[in-house]
Chains A and B, each alone.
Chain A
């Protein structure tokens, strides 16, 4: 999908390996690698020094070393939990096999493992929720954006409502969404937990708007010359939308989607925290309530993880954006 040679930070390495202008490549390396690394190093030192000065009721604020250790510990707990799970199923299998040997008519039953969710489990839950909310929002926002972009009347009709709903914080939506989901989503054997639906809908409500607005603007700002070309060719409405309007709007549309995904991720953490629904937000809240000496370090691990995932999601959207954008001269960053 993203060809390796396009990655700018890799390029000096590739050229160095090929033996092209070594001095030049070393200078490029300094710029692309050493300077950012130096920045990170300075930040770590400042963090370590500052952390030593801050004392909380749970002990000193964690420095980089504590956080690193807790990160390892969290991974280790995850591995232990998985071993526990495997062992649990293994024991059941053995027991069932024994009983069947004694009594062939015995119907074996497997009980599900109900261990606690580890840090890694919470990350995966959050990723799933954010994906679901974002996809749902996009499925609504793109068609809506196209419609209101094509029609001035529809745009005027929708605009006040969109402008009003756009700045609403997820925290304001959450109680309403929770109540509505509880009332509407009633099932004896739910396919997905209620909390998942609540977080997903909250995420969706908050991240709809950038995509709607950007798509509408992209659709509405088709070059007038291109519209004239379409009129001279007498393109039908559908062909006009497909061959002229949509491709024109794609760069704006993806810029909107990228903003939306960023918002979705931010909103999700807040929603999980407040609604106590599984995910990274809940992990942070649980650690906060737990209040052990490791808690602050663990929260810091979560903070860094949230940042890293947010960054990766943004890069992913950027890659998709530059893949679909016809305007290769545009400097996407």
Chain B
């Protein structure tokens, strides 16, 4: 079981009007069962693309992915995805959203009552049992994300894929969610691949941090083993020298080795993940991530 998820030399070309655009180039990574791996890198480097290939939502142009000895070539519930924007069905309650997944995955192996218990158990795991019968528009952003995680966990996936799951949340809520996730991870010991651009989050949660180079033709720059003892506590870690050393290494990779040259958009607050931001006349060297922190 040493190589549970095997990503070998994946490259992808997106067709564009100016010819194929190589977003990823020969990226390889091996992940052990029960490992928590974070992908970190500047916006637009190709993190979501990697995750979508793992999920089977995108096909690599070259190379391939194998999970538990089987090749991945289409989406499936054994690779559950938690999207950045919760992606719950707005017309269903929290319970019904999880139910949709549970019914689909366990329709042949669980009775109705077992399903109900399983759904409730997962909602309880993310501390959402009190709001089971509320619909997404009645829930806060953090609560919606919790339900999204419950839905993914309820599929009992082999790997849990998370694309900036807490990126849209405020700092306090994000800290709560990270603690919840560590708690769940302690109980379930899932194999997790999580995208983040929050350095503290990556160090706090991960067993390994995979740092990606800037695109185009992005690949893995460095891999950092975070052998901090668990359970981890954000308050005590703040004074831990190892913790600060790991932090410093990630920061140095992002801001020195992969320093990103970006023009300053004239309009502030344009999200990099959106379409090409409006470019202003004033151009300069700006570290986008640095400005955020």
State the A residues within 8 Å of B (CB): 223, 225-226, 228-229, 231-235, 239, 243-244, 247, 250, 326-329
Q: Which residue of B55, B75, B85 contacts A225 across the interface (Cβ within 8 Å)? A: B85
Q: Are A326 and B135 CB-contacts (below 8 A) given A226-B87, A243-B100, A247-B89?
A: yes
Identify the closest chain A residue to B97 (Cβ).
A229
Contacts of A247 in B (CB 8 A): 89, 91
Q: Which residue of B75, B101, B137 contacts A231 across the interface (Cβ within 8 Å)? A: B75
- Complex Cα distance A328/B135, Å? 11
- Complex Cα distance A243/B89, Å? 9
Contacts of B118 in A (CB 8 A): none
Check A234 against B137 for contact (C-beta < 8 Å).
no
Distance of B90 from chain A, by nearest CB (Å): 6
- Complex Cα distance A234/B79, Å? 11
Check B90 against A234 for contact (C-beta < 8 Å).
no
Check A228 against B87 for contact (C-beta < 8 Å).
yes
- Complex Cα distance A232/B79, Å? 8
Contacts of A235 in B (CB 8 A): 104
Q: Which of B19-66 contact A (CB under 8 A)?
A: 55-57
Check A326 against B100 for contact (C-beta < 8 Å).
no
Check B137 against A225 for contact (C-beta < 8 Å).
no
Contacts of B216 in A (CB 8 A): none
- Complex Cα distance A235/B91, Å? 17
Task: Check B253 for interface membership: any CB of A closer than 8 A.
Answer: no
- Complex Cα distance A226/B80, Å? 14
- Enumerate 6 A-B pairs (CB-CB under 8 Å) in ascending A order: A228-B55, A228-B83, A232-B76, A232-B80, A233-B104, A233-B105
Nearest 4 A/B pairs, CB to CB: A326-B91, A225-B87, A231-B75, A247-B91
- Complex Cα distance A297/B75, Å? 69
Contacts of A234 in B (CB 8 A): 75-77, 104
Check B83 against A328 for contact (C-beta < 8 Å).
no
> In terms of DSSP, what is the predominant structure of the interface of chain B?
loop
Q: Are A229 and B87 CB-contacts (below 8 A) given A234-B76, A234-B77, A243-B100?
A: yes
Distance of B51 from chain A, by nearest CB (Å): 11
Distance of B278 from chain A, by nearest CB (Å): 23
Identify the closest chain A residue to B81 (Cβ).
A232
Check B91 against A233 for contact (C-beta < 8 Å).
no
State the B residues within 8 Å of A (CB): 55-57, 75-77, 79-81, 83, 85, 87, 89-91, 100-101, 104-105, 135, 137, 155
- Complex Cα distance A268/B101, Å? 48
Distance of B132 from chain A, by nearest CB (Å): 17
Q: Which residue of B56, B100, B137 contacts A233 across the interface (Cβ within 8 Å)? A: B100
- Complex Cα distance A219/B204, Å? 42
Identify the closest chain A residue to B104 (Cβ).
A233
Contacts of B56 in A (CB 8 A): 231
Check A225 against B91 for contact (C-beta < 8 Å).
no
Check B83 against A225 for contact (C-beta < 8 Å).
yes
Q: Are A328 and B137 CB-contacts (below 8 A) given A232-B75, A232-B81, A234-B77?
A: yes
Q: Which residue of B57, B80, B90, B105 contacts A326 across the interface (Cβ within 8 Å)? A: B90
Known A231-B56, A233-B105, A247-B89; further 16 A-B contacts with Cβ < 8 A: A223-B87, A225-B85, A228-B75, A228-B81, A229-B83, A229-B89, A233-B104, A234-B76, A234-B104, A244-B89, A247-B91, A326-B91, A326-B135, A327-B90, A327-B137, A328-B137
Contacts of A328 in B (CB 8 A): 137
Identify the closest chain A residue to B55 (Cβ).
A232
Contacts of B81 in A (CB 8 A): 228-229, 232
Most buried by A among B100, B101, B105, B137: B100
Contacts of A244 in B (CB 8 A): 89
Identify the closest chain B residue to A225 (Cβ).
B87
Check A232 against B100 for contact (C-beta < 8 Å).
no
Contacts of A223 in B (CB 8 A): 87
- Complex Cα distance A327/B90, Å? 8
- Complex Cα distance A292/B247, Å? 94
- Complex Cα distance A250/B135, Å? 17
- Complex Cα distance A107/B228, Å? 104
Distance of A145 from chain B, by nearest CB (Å): 19
- Complex Cα distance A162/B57, Å? 34
- Complex Cα distance A56/B210, Å? 87
Most buried by B among A233, A244, A250: A233
Check A233 against B77 for contact (C-beta < 8 Å).
yes
Distance of B189 from chain A, by nearest CB (Å): 22
- Complex Cα distance A226/B136, Å? 14
Identify the closest chain A residue to B91 (Cβ).
A326
Distance of B50 from chain A, by nearest CB (Å): 15
Q: Are A233 and B101 CB-contacts (below 8 A) given A226-B89, A228-B81?
A: yes
Contacts of A329 in B (CB 8 A): 137
- Complex Cα distance A231/B56, Å? 9
Check B57 against A228 for contact (C-beta < 8 Å).
yes
Contacts of B75 in A (CB 8 A): 228, 231-232, 234
Contacts of A231 in B (CB 8 A): 56-57, 75
Contacts of A229 in B (CB 8 A): 81, 83, 87, 89
- Complex Cα distance A223/B105, Å? 22
Distance of B103 from chain A, by nearest CB (Å): 9
Identify the closest chain A residue to B135 (Cβ).
A326
Identify the closest chain B residue to A233 (Cβ).
B104
Contacts of B57 in A (CB 8 A): 228, 231-232
- Complex Cα distance A327/B91, Å? 8
Contacts of A239 in B (CB 8 A): 104
Contacts of A327 in B (CB 8 A): 90, 137
Contacts of B100 in A (CB 8 A): 233, 243
Distance of A58 from chain B, by nearest CB (Å): 57
- Complex Cα distance A239/B55, Å? 21
- Complex Cα distance A244/B90, Å? 10
